[in-house]
Structure formats: structure tokens, C-alpha cells
Structure 1
Amino acid sequence: MSSVTAPDLTALARSLDGAGEVREAGPEDVVDGVPAAVVARPTSVAAVSALLRTATGQGLVTVARGAGTALAWGCPPERVDLLLDTRGLDRLVEHEAGDLVVVAEAGLALRDLQAQVGRAGQELVADVPRERLEGGSTVGGALATGVSGVRRLQRLALRDLVLGTTVVLADGTIASSGGKVVKNVAGYDLAKLMTGAYGTLGVIVRAAFRLHPMRPARAYVLSTGPLAEVAERARAVVASQLAPAAVEIDRPAGSDEATLAVLLEGTDDAVAARAADAAALVGGAVGEEPAWWARLPGGEVLAKATATLTGVAGLLAAARAAEQAHAAGVALRGSAAGVLHAGITAPDAAALASVVAGLRAAAPSPGEGTVTVLSVPAALREGLDVWGPVGGLELMRAVKQRLDPGRHLAPGRFVGGI
């Protein structure tokens, strides 16, 4: 990477050619504790291209920001010379209701996108955590952080609904892949490559997604019990013919019990019948949407834990054991199919590292599960392996070298210092 130089605001502003604005950063312009020097808000793809070409030419490090609902996720960047605010790219480019396809710019808030396609009785099953949705989480931010929501059980994760993307590389190159119709999957890998890369490979500026028709009715079935029993009930529902839209588990910190919540969607009569069958299967009852539904668990530290379907019981047990061994709190919440979030409170950095190690022991390999620390206060970060074992790291570094050889895009934010 080039040596650190002061950003030339005049040149950066000129590069936008009137399509956006550039300003000095304020105290609120911080990425996980690292202050920015300059903030730019381009309003067109061409302006993003010209801006990045100019910034890279100046040797600047650029970090993209949407609504900022997950800027503390991942690792702090090495520095932030230019904070690229994507919210100037906030247009719904195209909505082909007949094809169940939408094309949106990266700075469009997901809640606004949902409102627009909802008028046609359709939805993008993004299901970002409710805190982020309410905070204005954007299309680009959701992709960059690789979110997966409660309804991924049937409709998969957001990355699987991407039909195509347009990204801008560090040198200003505009690259597109995929298409906007479901049958066209050419170039689909680029979209997956950018998803979950925390903006370290390119800046997502536009994406096309597959939509789903809204289902007219839904019902929740709730069941509470000992950890092992709830895990077994959850497995039974997932393996059943009930076709649940979501099967979620909530285990509060310090508790020997968990709550199972099953979501059924469809037509009124069918949902009612399936809900009754689900209640009988899990020994529960039909109820209201729980207050914790689609929300992140509380705690100083947020981690994402994955496991096989059979491994969820092990994660629940590991959370309780870690609490008892290290005077910590570990709330666990998420999909019974194996994608959960842990909210951890620990007395010190050493205890936190031990808690995370205990959870990783229950998810022993990238093939069987992982535990990634998404956000952690600086005081607890010392000695903590945020990412854990990662398969294919050398390949990831090679991709970074190919797409961003000068390490101008958010260096240090992703695994292995990428």
C-alpha cells in the first residue's frame, strides 16, 4: 500500500462531477473505533467509479458505509482515509413483478425496498436482524455483511437470492455479473464473492434479487423446556412434513431452558391445520410472535455460531457450560437449522476468549460449524481470535490480491487481515 497522504478534497470533489458531495469527516464518522478523514456521498455508479479511481490514485484507503448498522462488525480497518457513504445510491432501478425480480441500488434501505415491492404483494426475504432493519440497513450493507435471517430454512440466505450484482473495484473498474431473471445464472459467483466480504474486494453499487409472493397467513407455535429437549423438538419439526417457514430457538443467558418458536406460512386453513399439528409434535401451543423474534441477543459481544442440525444441541450445552466455568453470560438465539447468534457478557478478555473457545469446541471444524465474533469492545479484544479456523484462507488472499492488489479497500476488516 502507498504511504499515508492527506486526502485532496478538491480532487475528490472534482471527480464526482456534480454527482454527489465531499466533506471533512466529523466525530460521528468512525468505523469500529477508527476515525475517517473524509466522507464522500456519490449519487451515481459513474461517480463511485471516478471517486475510487481518484482515491486510489492518491493512495487512500476507502471504506464503504451504508446506514452504519454493522460498522462494528468484523475487525477494525487499518485506517479510513475516505468513508464512502452509499446512501446517495438509493433508487429502486426496476421491479419486474411478473418475473418476481427487483433491481436496487446499494444505498436503498431494505425497509423502503420492502415497502415498494410489497405493494405488488411481494417481498425480498432478507430478514436482517430487526435492530438493523429499523436502523435503515441498506441493500449493500446487508450483502457486505452476509446476513442470514429467520426464514432461510425454506428460502435460503440473502446471498442465494442474488441474481446479479454491479460492483466498483478499487481502481474504478465497474464490474457486473449475473442477470435480472431467475433463469440467468451466468456470473453468479461474483455476487457470492462480494457477499460477506465486508467491502474488502469491491464496493457493491447495485444488485438484482429474486422475490417471493407474500403468503397471506402465518401462525407461531411456541414450546419451552430443557435445552436438550428443545433441541430435539426442533430437529423433529425441521425433519417433519410440516414445511415450517422458520424454526427458531431462544436460550436466555443463565437459563437451563430454551424456547422453541415455529413459524408456519400459507393460506388460512392450511396454516391453522399445520400449526395444530406442530403444536402436538413439540408439546407446545399456538401463540403470538415472541418479542425476541428476528432480534439479536443482548450482550457486550456479538458472535455468529453455525452448526449442523444435530450440532445445535451441543452449542446450547456449550453456552451453559461456558457460563458456569467463566462467570459469563451467553444468550443464544437463532435457527434450529444451525445459524445462531450469541450475545456474550464476560468479566474480562481472558474469560471471553475461553467462552469463545468453548463454543468453538462444540463446532469443531469449518465443515461442522464455526464461531465468528462479529463485534467486541476494544477492551475485550486482546488475545481474541475473532474469526477462528477458516478454510481456504490462501485462496481468499489470492482473490484480494487480484481484485485489490494495493489493499485500498477496507484492509484488515476481513479474515486473515484481508
Structure 2
Amino acid sequence: MRPVRSTTGPVDPSVLDDLAGSGPRPGTPGDVVGGVVPTVVARPRGEADAARVMAAAARHGLSVVSRGGGTALDWGAPPRSVDLLVETAALTGIEHTADDLVVTVGAGTPVAELTDVLGAAGQRLSADPVRVGGTVGGMVATGVCGPRRLLFGALRDLVIGMTVVRADGVLTRTGGRVVKNVAGYDLAKLHTGGQGTLGMITSVTFRLHPTPPALRVVTAAVSSRAHGERMAAALRARAVAPSAVALDWPSEGGAHLHVVLEGMAEGMTARVDGVRAALGGDTVVSERLPEGWGLVPARGTLGFVACPPAESLAAAERIGELVRAADADVLVRGSVPSGALHAVFPPGTGADVIATAAEGVRSRPGWSLTLMRAEQHVHEAGVDLWGEVPGLPLMRSVKDALDPRHRLAPGRFVGGI
């Protein structure tokens, strides 16, 4: 566990006066963000109150971090300071326009609650959560989703509108509540995955999909990289239209490929047969997703690997080789056809092992590895979380435009943004 630290002194009474009505209180070790104890914690009662809180923070020059379910507060780099932690628990609500396959959701709404509401109407948000207990705002702020991105796109592709409070406290809306809306700049994509460094998300509008009436998962063992590549190539040659082709490759116990098929019950048998023929050998067919589908372990160091889709198996193999050479373990899992993998290092894995794996991946052209969550000893060792980011100058200019005083989640994102 990271040691906690405070970066500020006692609470200024004038700050508490300006935050009155949003339940301000002193921060405690239970509110820690990346090892930093916030000075003040506030819980706005709605969007207008959130704007008022952010405006007060701007007047006092306070650094601000938002918190939803608290499941990703240790993602990214430790913030330089947290003068004000804004809880989104009261920013809830679900406005579901089922006929238009659209939903607008408060940022503090638990993802599980949204799933239940949509499921009761025979619809879903086709993005696999990677954490248990998260909120909609936190899911969007981290921007990470699971293997079904293959068919439905990444989370950012499902966002069609957003309400955000700017650093100066102004409430802004981008996009709309219909799928074909093209009004204004697509600022929602900037905030998706922005770690709260560009603004505070208060609500999000998503496009939805009907819940498929039938689901089948075909699972096969992967004996080697070459074997997995042959299976992936054979799948591409068949018109089976999988929702996901997910790899699970632990250091020990053998790798597996999971092919998810969704759609009408009619024709499902033929699709399953096509997948089994492509995979060859022994396969297992299930009507349920594997346990823990899409989720990443809540502890340890977590890396996100991006590579050309045709090189996904090579990337998984390379990470395993680098880590096993140091007599350590790693679990590599993710979407093979998307070239989007997670590398999960067990708690206590040495910083040198993680640094070697990161450098080994980043040394390959077209490959990258971002350490989205790192343990304290990894941070203390100065391991590079991001690697080379070609678009960093542009990202800095966007930060300067939207948060000129760099008060929002300072230092949590790439390049100290």
C-alpha cells in the first residue's frame, strides 16, 4: 500500500465557506488519491452545484481530483497535489430513450446499475467494464474497455454526448442525445480517457445496442504463438462475425483463446461449427462468458499494450519471455484482432522486471506499453509509465487551453499533464 502524504496545510475557512452546501469536510487517509491525502472533500448535489464547486476551486486556485467509485484512484501517476477531492456520488440518474437506443447517465451512477436498467429493457452498453464497483464517470475518465471492442468499437466510439464542468466552473455540453448529432466539436473524445485532467465529467450520453438473444463462447487451448496465429488467421477467413476474440495467456497453466458469438439463435449452430473448425482440436462451447470476463485484477501493476493486430500473439509471447527470464509471472489478456492487451503483474513484482518488460515492448516498432496502474515501489524506482508519446506537444497545448493553470488532476497523465 502506498504511504499517504499531504501536500497542503490546514483548511482555509474561506474555502469551506465557498463550498458550503456541498458538504465540505477535511480529507482523511480513507480519501487518499495515489498516496496523497486531499485537503478538502466535497460532494456536489447536482450539475449546477458541481459547477459552483469548481468555480470556487478556481477562485482559490485549488487543485482538483474527481472520485466516483474509487476503483481507479491509483491509476496514472500520483498527483502533485489534491487540494479538493470532488465526489460524484450524488451526480446520478438514468434517462433511457429506448426507442432511439440512447441513454444519458449521471457520472456518479454505478456501472452495474446502468447495466441492470438497460438489461430490463433488452438493451446494453456494449463495452465490457474492466473494474468491479466503478461508476460511469470513472469508466469514461479512464477510457478502458474489454474485448468486445472488436465488434462494437472502443468506449470512446459509444459516447455521443457529454456534460463537463470546465476548470473555471463553466458547465459545457458537447454532442447530443441522438446518434447522428454532429453539432459542435467532438470534445467528448478528449475527455474519454483523459483521467479528469481536462474537466469534470458530470453526465454522459451513449449509443446502445439490443441485447443479443443468443450467446456462445468457443474456447480452445493455445499451445504456442504460431498455433494462436494460425487460429486467428483461420477465424479471419470465415464469415462468423465474432463479438470478441480474447486471449488469456498466463505465465503458467496454458493459454486459451475465447471466441464470443452473439446474435439470433437461428444460425448460431452453423457459426459455432465454423469457429470450431477454424480453431481445430478440442474446443469447449459455453452459453456464458468466462468468469471475470474483461476484468483486470484489482491489485498489482497493470500495463496496457497496443500493437498491430496481426502481432498480438507475438506481443503476448514477448512479454511472457521477458518476465519469465527474470523468474517472475505475468498474465497477458485482451483482444487479439484489436491489438489491445493488458499485462497484469502480480503484487510485489520487482520494478526492474516491469521496467525490462516495458522497454522490451516499446523497443518494437508500432508497439507501446502504458503502465496504467503501478505499485508504490514502481513509482519510487522511477519506472517510465508512458514511454514515447508522439502526440505529447499537441496534448500539452490542449491542456493549456482547457486548464491553463494546470489545476485538474495535476501530474496524473502523460508528461506530467
Q: Secondary structure at the match of 1:397?
A: helix
Alignment partner of 2:224 out of 212, 222, 227 = 227
Q: Secondary structure at the match of 1:287?
A: strand
CA distance in structure 2 between the partners assigned to 1:374 and 1:317 by the alignment: 21
When normalised by structure 1's length, the TM-score is 0.92
CA distance in structure 1 between the partners assigned to 2:64 and 2:405 by the alignment: 12
CA distance in structure 2 between the partners assigned to 1:292 and 1:52 by the alignment: 37
Give the aligned partner of residue 197 of structure 1.
Answer: 194
User: Residue 240 and residue 52 in structure 1: after superposition, are their counterparts in 2 closer, same or farther (change >3 A)?
Assistant: same
Shift of 1:309: 1.2
Give the aligned partner of residue 101 of structure 1.
Answer: 102
Shift of 1:193: 0.5
Q: Secondary structure at the match of 1:142?
A: helix
Q: Secondary structure at the match of 1:28?
A: helix
User: Residue 123 and residue 13 in structure 1: after superposition, are their counterparts in 2 closer, same or farther (change >3 A)?
Assistant: farther
Letter in 1 for 2:404: P
CA distance in structure 2 between the partners assigned to 1:77 and 1:238 by the alignment: 43
Shift of 1:340: 1.0
The equivalences for 1:13-412 within 5 A come to: 14-15=18-19, 18=21, 20-92=22-94, 94-129=95-130, 132=131, 134-135=132-133, 137-187=134-184, 189-228=186-225, 229-254=227-252, 257-283=254-280, 284-288=282-286, 289-296=289-296, 300-337=300-337, 338-345=339-346, 348-362=350-364, 364=365, 368-381=366-379, 382-412=381-411
Unaligned runs of 5+ in 2: 1-6
Q: Which deviates the most, 238-247 or 144-153? A: 238-247
Q: Confirm or deny: 8 A CA contact 1:249 1:258 kept in the other structure.
A: yes
CA distance in structure 2 between the partners assigned to 1:21 and 1:279 by the alignment: 57
Q: Confirm or deny: 8 A CA contact 1:106 1:207 kept in the other structure.
A: yes
Letter in 2 for 1:98: D
Q: Which deviates the most, 143-152 or 282-291? A: 282-291
Output one character per residue of 1:353-405: Cα deviation in whole Å (capped at 9) or x when no partner.
Answer: 1121112234x3xxx33210011111122131101111210111111111111
CA distance in structure 2 between the partners assigned to 1:384 and 1:201 by the alignment: 25
- The answer to whether residue 9 in structure 2 is matched with residue 8 in structure 1 is no
Q: Confirm or deny: 8 A CA contact 1:254 1:320 kept in the other structure.
A: no
Output one character per residue of 1:104-127: Cα deviation in whole Å (capped at 9) or x when no partner.
Answer: 111111111111122211111121
When normalised by structure 2's length, the TM-score is 0.92
Output one character per residue of 1:42-83: Cα deviation in whole Å (capped at 9) or x when no partner.
Answer: 021111111111112112111001001111111110011111
Q: Confirm or deny: 8 A CA contact 1:219 1:286 kept in the other structure.
A: no
Shift of 1:188: 5.3
CA distance in structure 2 between the partners assigned to 1:402 and 1:153 by the alignment: 33
CA distance in structure 2 between the partners assigned to 1:202 and 1:12 by the alignment: 22
Output one character per residue of 1:149-192: Cα deviation in whole Å (capped at 9) or x when no partner.
Answer: 22111100111011111101111011111111011022352000
Letter in 2 for 1:49: A
Q: Secondary structure at the match of 1:42?
A: coil
Q: Confirm or deny: 8 A CA contact 1:221 1:275 kept in the other structure.
A: yes
Letter in 1 for 2:343: A
Q: Which deviates the most, 224-233 or 153-162? A: 224-233
User: Residue 406 and residue 45 in structure 1: after superposition, are their counterparts in 2 closer, same or farther (change >3 A)?
Assistant: same
Unaligned runs of 5+ in 1: none
CA distance in structure 2 between the partners assigned to 1:149 and 1:347 by the alignment: 24
CA distance in structure 2 between the partners assigned to 1:141 and 1:238 by the alignment: 34
Q: Confirm or deny: 8 A CA contact 2:63 2:82 kept in the other structure.
A: yes
Q: Confirm or deny: 8 A CA contact 1:162 1:207 kept in the other structure.
A: yes
